[in-house]
Every structure is written in structure tokens, then in C-alpha cells.
Amino acid sequence: MADQPTAAERFIQGILPENPVYRQLLGLCPTLAVTNGLKAAITMSAAVLFVLFCANVIVSLIRNLLKPHLRIVIFTLTIATFVTFADRFLAAYVYQMSKVLGPYIPLIIVNCLIICRCEVCASKQGVVTAGADAIGQSLGFCLALCSIAAVRELLGTGMLFDIRVLPVVWPDWVIMVLPPGAFLTFGLLLGLVNWYSDRRAAAAGGK
């Protein structure tokens, strides 16, 4: 318990070294389900940022009151509160997007990424560290979702952010916006990230 990472370390780690999707393989349900367009991916990431930040801060504030056998229940209730906020907010102000995301916003409640951060960081460290951790992890999540969504939207529809970037003659790869495209893209990108970090580790070891 002695050497907990500092706030800055938590923030940096969340983005790439401990990227929630590519490194920890957490939160894969929305990663696969809502990445057929960049807009949906960004909205999802924003919702996760809001929920994770609020949950982490609250859990960190009450961390001395937590009883070990009840902590998961408390985490879930805290998360559920903020997910309800996010869900109703989206339904009120961006109704179309709320329709597109469907059940995946309520499903943030069971997103293991958030429970994991409450458990690993917020229930043990102070408010500032917990907040920095939430922002770093959310940025990492956003980066992962956007990288997958960019590939899928570009190949599947020839567009990015619903704006056409490839010429009209581009034949849409319909499979990429369907579930198989999510699995293929995610698998290939995960392989690419592993290959890249292996190479960096090998280069660092060589020195």
C-alpha cells in the first residue's frame, strides 16, 4: 500500500500504458457494439468520462466508510446513479444519438472498466488522484473507441463523422459496420498494438 502511483502517473497510465481496451481488455461490450461510427463512439466515451469521473470521486470521498464485503454493491449503486443521469440527459438533448446507442448507455452500469477503477484506484487513493485516474482512463477508452470506429466507418461507409471523405465510387464494405467487422477490426488493431509495444520493449531492452 506504500507506493501508490501519483495523480500524474495515474493520468498518463490510463491513456496508453494501461489503456483500458487495448491493455486491460475491459469494457469490450461498448467497444464492439457502438464503434460503427465516430459520432457514436465519441458520445459513448463522453458518457463513460462523466460516469467514471463522478463515481471515482464519490467512491474516493467515502473510501474510509466502505465495508469490504459491501463495497461492490456501493460501487454499483454509485455508478448506477450517474449512469441514470447520463442516460436521461442524452435522451433529453440528443435524442437521435440516444436512439442509436440504445441499451449501451444503461449498460455502462455493468461496464467492468468503471468497477475496476473504483476498486483499483478510487477506493484506495485520494480525490485528486481518483479524478486524474478517471480522466486518463476515459481518454484511453476514447482513443481506443475512436481508432476502431474510424477504421470501421471509413471502410464501411466511406465517411468520417458522417462526412464523405472517400470518393463516391468507393464500394462500401457493409461487413465493417456489422458485428463481424467489429471483431475483425478490434482483433487486428489489438495485434498491431501488441506488435508495436513488443518492438518498443525489445528496443528498450536492447539498450
Partner 1 sequence: MAKEIQIRESAEAPVIHVAPSPHLSHTAQTTRTMMRDVLIALAPVTGMALYVFQAYALRQLAICVIGCLAAEWIFTGMRGRRATLWDFSAAVTGVILALSLPGTAPWYIGVIASFTAIGIGKVIFGGLGMNIFNPAMVGRAFVMIAFAGAMGAAGYQDASSAVDAISQATPMDAFKQGGAIAPLSALFWGNTNGSLGETSAIACLIGGLYLCIRRTASWEIPAGVIGAVVVLGGIANLLNPESQWTVLHHILGGALLFGAFFIATDPVTSPLTPKGKLIFGTGVGALIMLLRIFSGYPEGVMFAVLIMNSITPLINRWTIPRPLGGK
Positions in the binding site for partner 1 (CB under 8 A): 171-176, 178, 180, 184
Q: How far is the CB of 39 from partner 1 (least distance, A)?
A: 22
To the nearest whole angstrom, how small is the minimum distance from the Cβ of residue 138 to partner 1?
A: 31
Q: How far apart are the C-alpha atoms of 61 and 69, rounded to whole Å?
A: 18
CB closer to partner 1 out of 66 and 184: 184
Closest approach of partner 1 to the CB of residue 168, in Å: 15
SS3 content of the chain, % helix, strand, coil (to 5): 75, 0, 25
Which residue type, as a one-letter code, is found at position 127?
V
Rounded-to-integer distance, Cα 136 and Cα 63, Å:
20
User: In the bound complex, what is the minimum distance in angstroms from residue 81's beta carbon to partner 1?
Assistant: 41
Contacts of residue 114, Cβ cutoff 8 Å, sequence gap at least 6: 48, 51, 52, 55, 75, 79, 108
Rank residues 8 and 174 by Cβ distance to partner 1 and give the closer one.
Answer: 174
d(CA 118, CA 63): 10
Q: Which is nearer to partner 1, 89 or 173 (CB)?
A: 173
Would you say 82 or 186 has its CB closer to partner 1?
186
Return the closest-CA partner of residue 104 out of 82, 79, 80, 87: 87
CB of 184 to partner 1, least distance (A): 7
Which lies closer to partner 1 via its Cβ, residue 30 or residue 181?
181
164 phi/psi in degrees, rounded to 5: -70, 125
Strands 159-160 and 163-164: antiparallel
